[in-house]
């Protein structure tokens, strides 16, 4: 299963190529301006080759001579660099991002964060988690008192975070996050999912109406993600088509692995119990409410 590390890794591979191309172009331009330096660098390389050949041939004299010439050119190069104020590391490939040195991360251990330069990798991971429609939602525009209900929002955020951290448990790892329409349930969930992914864990977001159309890779994520959010959950939809059995399978798989699943719904637990597919109602009975 792909965590954000996978997407960062892809980005880093591409960046290694970009960096080399950029560096080669830089050196070419640099040599055009400093032909003397190019001549010396070429000479150093050629004497290194001569020396190696001499070693292989067992020719001690030739080996010594190559070494001497090389040292002499190196000395001239040093003087040239000093005289022209050229830093001695001009040959080094410099990182494209100097904040993370192209590793993709800043900070260590618990403080480790994805570097800003990896925005694209982040977006890809969010997309893969099912958040393709929520590109504008992020922790920066998170409003604590959305709908003038600061206390509730804080309570929900804290609870969801604890569930993710496995500091809260329920009998079958199922949770019902129920609240009225337009109370920002999706928003709170999406912000948390993005944080979870940013930490290198996996989360998945699906709308319940799409449960029958999951691709194979999405199904794997839905079954194995560290946290699964099922949004717009409704009792009536559990009895439509194969929805009930698909959901039942997912819940059994996840419960077996002790992975939390969170239903997001406008319906009350009583409604869900009364009107859901009987297998699903049997599980909702033991779920915890948020």
Q: Interface residues with Zn ion (CB under 5 A)?
A: 97, 99-100, 115, 117
CA torsion sign for 191, 194, 169, 271 is positive
The residue (of 115 and 287) whose beta carbon lies closer to Zn ion is 115
CB of 89 to Zn ion, least distance (A): 20
CB of 12 to Zn ion, least distance (A): 10
Report d(CA 161, CA 61) in Å as an integer.
72
The residue (of 126 and 175) whose beta carbon lies closer to Zn ion is 126
CB of 7 to Zn ion, least distance (A): 14
Report d(CA 173, CA 166) in Å as an integer.
10
The residue (of 115 and 188) whose beta carbon lies closer to Zn ion is 115
- Cα 206 to Cα 68, 155, 209: the distances in Å are 70, 23, 8
Starting at the edge strand that comes first in sequence, how are the strands of the sheet with 227-231 ordered?
Answer: 203-207, 227-231, 261-265, 174-178, 288-289
CB of 98 to Zn ion, least distance (A): 8
The residue (of 114 and 206) whose beta carbon lies closer to Zn ion is 114
The residue (of 100 and 206) whose beta carbon lies closer to Zn ion is 100
Report d(CA 115, CA 101) in Å as an integer.
10
Q: Structure tokens of 156?
A: 């929900």
CB of 201 to Zn ion, least distance (A): 21
């Amino acid at each position: 299963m792909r965590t954000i590390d996978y997407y960062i890794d892809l980005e880093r591979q591409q960046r290694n190529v970009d960096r080399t191309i950029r560096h080669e172009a830089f050196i070419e331009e640099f040599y055009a301006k400093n032909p003397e330096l190019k001549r010396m660098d070429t000479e150093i390389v050629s004497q290194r080759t001569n020396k190696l050949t001499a070693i292989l041939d067992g020719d001690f004299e030739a080996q010594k001579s190559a070494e001497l010439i090389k040292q002499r050119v190196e000395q001239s190069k040093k003087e040239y660099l000093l005289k022209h104020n050229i830093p001695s590391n001009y040959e080094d490939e410099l990182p494209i991002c100097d904040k993370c040195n192209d590793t993709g991360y800043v900070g260590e251990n618990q403080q480790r964060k994805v570097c800003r330069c990896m925005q694209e990798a982040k977006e890809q991971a969010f997309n893969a988690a099912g958040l393709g429609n929520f590109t504008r939602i992020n922790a920066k525009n998170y409003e604590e008192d959305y709908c003038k209900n600061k206390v509730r929002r804080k309570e929900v955020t804290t609870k969801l975070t604890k569930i993710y951290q496995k500091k809260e448990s329920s009998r079958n790892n199922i949770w019902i996050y129920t609240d009225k329409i337009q109370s920002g349930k999706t928003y709170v969930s999406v912000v948390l999912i993005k944080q979870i992914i940013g930490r290198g864990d996996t989360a998945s977001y699906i709308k319940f109406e799409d449960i029958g159309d999951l691709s194979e890779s999405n199904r794997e994520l839905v079954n194995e993600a560290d946290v699964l959010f099922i949004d717009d959950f409704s009792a009536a939809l559990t009895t439509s088509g194969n929805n009930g059995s698909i959901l039942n399978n997912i819940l059994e798989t996840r419960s077996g692995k002790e992975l939390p699943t969170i239903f997001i719904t406008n319906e009350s637990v009583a409604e869900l119990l009364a009107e859901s597919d009987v297998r699903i109602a049997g599980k909702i009975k033991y779920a915890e409410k948020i």
